[in-house]
């Protein structure tokens, strides 16, 4: 009896350790990021981040303005969301409400496959196929633009949006739909006036999570956006996102230098952005579960 | 009982490993990403010829390699730029002399789309294009259209070298598109009619007819020179650079053997094979 209790206790603590591991790791990452980013504040002050030029290697004056990078991430994320939402939400509505079981059998694996394509492969596709297409369609000098990046990122966000929205739509109680149909509404009216509004918070959460995926994506944007740190909201210009900057510059920057530490500030900004998006998504999701 | 035997076995294995480790002399090489392939090729051949010696090569960048040399975590530092005075001073402050070896030469070719009518540029014109002073091809005697600038990323040693020696330390135009590799620049220039880019000499051969290599002249009165192995070697091509290996203090033992190998005829043959220019 006693031995059994002890065994239970040990197992309980083991599980506790496993469960809290991710908490500890997140805290350690925060700690690490802040530790590495301290030298920047000591040498240049935090104000140097709020500048309009990102010029980390310069003989004239090194500048670490995060505005162009932040604007680029914002532009690419918003554009990608605009492209992804119609496809994602309408696709989910179709899959949840209208598709036959056979169609669902066929579509689901493809959507999952789309989610599983490595970002570097998508980037390569973008570089070789999509960017010449964008260049031709809009008569641009170069196809390496924010738009190209956004189109590819939309492709990555669609599966996330579809699967979570679909769950939300399926979670709408049957009674709602039956009541609507009984009142004489047809199927489409029921979907648009009853089912979708009832699942709206779930759909919003799906979009938020899709955006979280997009804002953190690195390889694809690094390959197709041209990476010129221009402060712009023009989708036909080349942009340099926060993630691409970290990936491109971390490789050869001298450890412990101001530039190195500036890259960690970008990391912190990125972390805050995804944290806020996740927080909103969680809030909205909880509301819909209630 | 079984457990103790296992522990004893593991211990014995560790001792054996440590013992064999002592017999092998290891050389740590760290630094420039431009040099990392060449350096690995040297290491491979060197280890074949000298079974008792081991060379470990890592990239990370010229700056990283030099910091590692200063901190004593590497034996040799590869660099695609010369050591800065401040870095030299730090090492001399430790009471050791900096040894610099020029192990290979490299030319940086300026490339445009094959449809571009331009055949040559002066250094001043390249600078004006890349700093954004001139934004239309007509400004340098070329055809129609706006100039589309491609550069390497700021982490690249080539980026820094080009900025120092061609841009004369001015900043790149903010509109220049920063690409992650030499081959991405070739790809971009091959596709975009108004593009201009720069790549290491090795990549020009690889690109073939997809891009046009421009002749470069030092100034308006000098002849325009096409980058090639002979013109880089005799320094007549204006955008040439040395590739360096640095050591802290006089190299000894395996480190010295490896340095000697890089500078030997066999080592320099590998330089040519890897698309660089031997000295």
Tens digit of pLDDT for each residue in B42-84?
999 999 999 989 999 987 777 778 888 988 889 999 988 888 8
Chain B: residue nearest A224 by CA?
A: B179
- Choose the closest CB to A57 out of B60, B148, B160: B160
Q: What's residue B17's pLDDT? A: 46
Residue B25 in this model has a pLDDT that exceeds 70: yes
In chain B, DSSP finds a helix count (H) and a strand count (E) of: 11, 11
Residue-wise pLDDT tens digits, B93-108: 888 999 999 999 988 9
Quote the pLDDT of residue B155. 65
pLDDT confidence band for B14 (50 / 70 / 90)? very low
Residue B7 has pLDDT above 60, yes or no: no
Among B157, B171, B188, the residue with its CB nearest the CB of A55 is B171
Q: Which are the contacts of A244, defined by CB distance < 8 A and separation ≥ 6?
A: A218, A221, A222, A225, A227
Say if the Cβ atoms of A238 and B180 lie within 8 Å.
no
ipTM above 0.85, yes or no: no
Choose the most confident range, by mean pLDDT, from A41-50, A257-266, B149-158, B254-263. B254-263
End-to-end CA distance of chain A: 42
Binned at pLDDT 50, 70 and 90, residue B208 comes out as: confident
Q: Which of B132, B147, B152, B154 to mutate to test the interface with A (most CBs of A within 10 A)?
A: B154
Query: Which residues from chain A sit within 8 angstroms of residue B61, using beta carbons?
Result: 251-254
Q: Which two tokens stand for residue B160?
A: 């820094």
Strand B195-200 relative to strand B98-112: parallel, antiparallel, unpaired?
antiparallel
Q: What is the DSSP letter of A48?
A: G
The Cα angle at residue A190 between residues A186 and A192, in degrees rounded to 5: 120
Alpha helices by DSSP H, listed for B50-141, are 62-71, 85-93, 123-131
Report the C-alpha gap between A236 and A71 in whole angstroms: 14
Distance CA A157, CA A117 (A): 12
Predicted pLDDT of residue B1: 42
Percent of chain B with pLDDT over 90: 47
Mean pLDDT score of chain A: 89
Q: What is the percentage of chain B residues whose pLDDT exceeds 70? A: 91
Instruction: Say how far apart CA A199 and CA A177 lie, in whole Å.
Output: 12
- pTM over cut 0.90: no
Please tell me the distance from the alpha carbon of residue B155 to that of residue B159, in angstroms, as a whole number: 7
CA distances from B188 to A135, B112, B142, B181, B183 (A): 12, 10, 19, 11, 9
Beta-strand ranges (E) seen in chain A are 54-55, 63-64
Q: What is chain B's mean pLDDT, rounded?
A: 86
Question: Per-residue pLDDT averaged across B31-50, rounded?
Answer: 88
Residue B203 has pLDDT above 60, yes or no: yes
Confidence (pLDDT) at B11: 47
Q: Is B169 on the interface with A (CB under 8 A)?
A: yes
The chain B residue lying nearest A63, using CA atoms, is B171
- Please answer whether residues B179 and B185 qualify as being in contact, where contact means their C-beta atoms are separated by less than 8 angstroms: yes
What pLDDT is stored for residue B15 in this prediction?
45
What would the 3-class secondary structure string for A147-207 be? HHHHHHHHHHHHHHHHHHHHHHHHCCCHHHHHHHHHCCCCHHHHHHHHHHHHCHHHHHHHH
Of A132, A227, A254, the CB nearest to B179: A227
Q: What is the pLDDT of residues A179-219, one digit of tens each?
A: 999 999 998 899 999 999 999 888 998 999 899 889 999 99
Alpha carbons B70 and B83: distance in angstroms, whole number:
11
**Chain B residues with CB-CB distance to A228 below 8 A:** 174-178
| Residue-level pLDDT at A289 | 61
Q: What is chain A's percent helix, strand, coil content, to nearest 5?
A: 75, 0, 20
The answer to whether B60 faces chain A, any CB pair under 8 Å, is yes
């Amino acid at each position: 009896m006693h031995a059994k209790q002890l065994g239970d206790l040990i197992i309980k603590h083991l599980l506790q350790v496993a469960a809290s591991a991710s908490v500890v790791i997140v805290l350690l990452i925060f700690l690490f990021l802040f530790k590495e980013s301290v030298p920047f504040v000591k040498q240049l002050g935090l104000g140097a981040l709020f500048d309009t030029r990102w010029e980390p290697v310069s003989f004239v004056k090194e500048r670490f303005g995060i505005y162009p990078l932040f604007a680029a991430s914002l532009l690419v994320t918003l554009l990608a969301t605009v492209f992804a939402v119609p496809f994602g939400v309408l696709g989910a509505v179709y899959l949840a409400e209208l598709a036959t079981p056979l169609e669902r059998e066929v579509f689901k694996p493809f959507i999952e496959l789309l989610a599983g394509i490595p970002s570097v492969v998508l980037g390569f596709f973008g570089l070789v196929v999509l960017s010449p297409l964008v260049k031709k369609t809009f008569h641009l000098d170069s196809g390496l633009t924010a738009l190209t990046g956004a189109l590819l990122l939309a492709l990555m966000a669609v599966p996330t949006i579809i699967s979570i929205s679909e769950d939300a739509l399926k979670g709408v109680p049957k009674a709602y739909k039956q009541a609507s149909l009984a009142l004489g509404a047809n199927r489409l009216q029921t979907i648009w006036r009853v089912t979708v509004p009832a699942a709206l918070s779930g759909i919003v959460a799906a979009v938020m999570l899709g955006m979280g995926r997009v804002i953190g994506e690195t390889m694809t944007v690094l390959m197709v956006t041209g990476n010129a740190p221009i402060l712009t909201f023009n989708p036909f210009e080349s942009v340099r996102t926060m993630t691409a900057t970290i990936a491109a510059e971390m490789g050869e920057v001298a450890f412990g230098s101001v530039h190195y530490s500036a890259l960690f500030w970008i990391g912190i900004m990125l972390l805050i952005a995804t944290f806020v998006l996740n927080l909103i998504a969680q809030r909205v999701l909880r509301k819909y579960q209630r | 009982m079984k457990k103790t035997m296992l522990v004893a076995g593991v211990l014995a294995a560790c001792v054996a490993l440590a013992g064999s480790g002592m017999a092998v002399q290891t050389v740590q090489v760290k630094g420039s990403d431009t040099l990392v392939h060449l350096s690995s090729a040297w290491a491979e051949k060197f280890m074949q010829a000298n079974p008792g010696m081991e060379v470990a090569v890592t990239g990370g960048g010229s700056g990283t390699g030099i910091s590692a040399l200063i901190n004593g975590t590497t034996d040799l530092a590869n660099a695609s730029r010369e050591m800065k005075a401040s870095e030299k001073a730090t090492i001399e402050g430790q009471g050791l002399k900096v040894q610099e070896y020029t192990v290979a030469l490299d030319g940086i070719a300026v490339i445009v789309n094959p449809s571009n009518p331009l055949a040559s540029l002066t250094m001043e014109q390249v600078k004006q294009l890349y700093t954004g002073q001139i934004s239309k091809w007509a400004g340098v005697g070329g055809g129609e259209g706006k100039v589309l600038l491609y550069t390497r990323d700021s982490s690249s040693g080539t980026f820094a070298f080009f900025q120092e020696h061609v841009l004369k330390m001015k900043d790149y135009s903010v509109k220049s598109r920063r690409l992650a590799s030499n081959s991405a620049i070739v790809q971009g220039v091959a596709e975009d009619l108004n593009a201009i880019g720069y790549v290491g000499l090795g990549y020009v051969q690889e690109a073939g007819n997809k891009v046009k290599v421009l002749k470069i002249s030092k100034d308006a009165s000098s002849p325009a020179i096409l980058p090639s192995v002979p013109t880089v070697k005799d320094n007549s091509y204006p955008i040439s650079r040395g590739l360096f290996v640095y050591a802290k203090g006089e190299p000894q033992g395996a480190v010295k053997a490896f340095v000697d190998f890089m500078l030997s005829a066999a080592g320099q043959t590998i330089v040519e094979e890897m698309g660089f220019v031997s000295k």
